[in-house]
Amino acid sequence: MHTMVDKHADAVVHAKVAVGLPTPKVSAKDVNVYYGEKRALQDVSVDIPDRGVMAFIGPSGCGKSTFLRCINRMNDTIPICRVTGKITIDDRDIYDPKLDVVQLRARVGMVFQKPNPFPKSIYENVAYGPRIHGLSHSKADLDEIVQSSLEKAGLWNEVKDRLNDSGTGMSGGQQQRLCIARAIAVNPEVILMDEPCSALDPIATARIEELIEQLRKNFCIIIVTHSMQQAARVSQRTAFFHLGSLVEEGVTTEIFTNPKDKRTQDYITGRFG
């Protein structure tokens, strides 16, 4: 039986279907983040659709990475950090005290600026997550997960003959794709990427961008990037952050050809400061 709240939620879903808007995968409402007394993020509200790429852009210190880290509760690990407001994934509050944070982080994978493979074999890097989350029941299961994850990350053909080599011995671009394979091995729904290409050369960057293009068919991807060209290339929606606020969010082509806010315009055309 529906509770009042459920009925209300249903009505919201129907209203969105009626106007053709997809239900957001991730939804933030009035999110504020404080580091001690300092407010790093102010009243951020945004809906992020599934099966697509949302880019966060903005100058250093604007709050984009802080916000990204709220989505898998990475900020919990910083003692002085406090988050208020509401973030939901599939309409479930991720800051609900009853929610298992470890499970949440399996659902919301993360890829960092600097590739950080474990100092273990390529195989173990990918197998670690599924094993601890109990996603495989046999060695054959695990082998299959490792292979399919590496395939999805576009790395399988390069490493299939040396799965026991160390993950840290690969090139930077390969390491980053290994980290993406590691993230997708636990069947996440959302993948957060914090400047995933800033340490890579243009060819490795192009490979990651091609990978993002493939992955967006099945995942909700949120990418923080300092390269506006990258945001323009890989994302369908873009959000511009400035001084802790979300200034403007919209369809990527609109943001980059005809932004509504002067601050967005100044930033993307290189007129800041």
Partner 1 sequence: MNEHTVKSYEEELALLDKKIAQMGGLAEQLLGQALGALERRDPRLAEDVVLADKQIDTLEREIEEQVISMIARRQPMADDLRHIMGALRITTDLERIGDLAKNIAKRALAIADESHPKPLMSGIRHMVELALHQLKEVLDAYAERDADKALSVWRNDAQIDAMYNSLFRELLTYMMEDPRNIGISTHLLFGAKNIERVGDHTTNIAETVHFLVRGFNIADDRPKDDQTSSTLISGT
Least CB distance to partner 1 at residue 258 (A): 3
The residues facing 109 across adjacent strands are 191
Identify which of 162, 188, 186, 185 has the alpha carbon closest to the alpha carbon of residue 174. 162
Q: How far is the CB of 237 from partner 1 (least distance, A)?
A: 16
Are 258 and 75 contacting, i.e. CB atoms less than 8 angstroms apart?
Answer: no
Look up residue 22 and give its DSSP letter: P
Q: Which is nearer to partner 1, 219 or 267 (CB)?
A: 267
d(CA 154, CA 158): 8
- What residues line the site for partner 1 (CB under 8 A)? 228-229, 232, 256-259, 264-266, 268-273
Q: Give residue 14's identity as a one-letter amino acid code.
A: H
Indicate the residue among 58 and 167 with the shorter CB distance to partner 1: 58
**To the nearest whole angstrom, how small is the minimum distance from the Cβ of residue 84 to partner 1?**
33
Measure the CA angle with vertex 211, ends 102 and 257; round to 5°. 105
Which is nearer to partner 1, 101 or 206 (by Cβ)?
206
What is the nearest approach in angstroms of partner 1 to the Cβ of residue 230?
11
What whole-number distance in Å separates Cα of residue 92 and Cα of residue 218?
20
Assign 86 to helix, strand or coil: strand
**Nearer Cβ to partner 1 (29/271):** 271
**Residue 90 or 266 with smaller CB distance to partner 1:** 266
> How near is the Cβ of 55 to partner 1 at its closest, in Å?
13
When the beta carbons of 175 and 238 are compared against partner 1, the nearer one is 238
Q: How far is the CB of 238 from partner 1 (least distance, A)?
A: 11
CB of 79 or CB of 273, closer to partner 1: 273
Q: Which residues contact 236 (CB under 8 A, 6 or more apart)?
A: 49, 52, 53, 54, 216, 251, 252
DSSP calls for 93-155: ETT-TTS-HHHHHHHEEEE-SS----SSBHHHHHHHHHHHTT--SSHHHHHHHHHHHHHHTT-
DSSP one-letter string for 174-220: HHHHHHHHHHHTT--SEEEEESTTTTS-HHHHHHHHHHHHHHTTTSE
Residue 254 C-beta: closest distance to partner 1, Å: 9
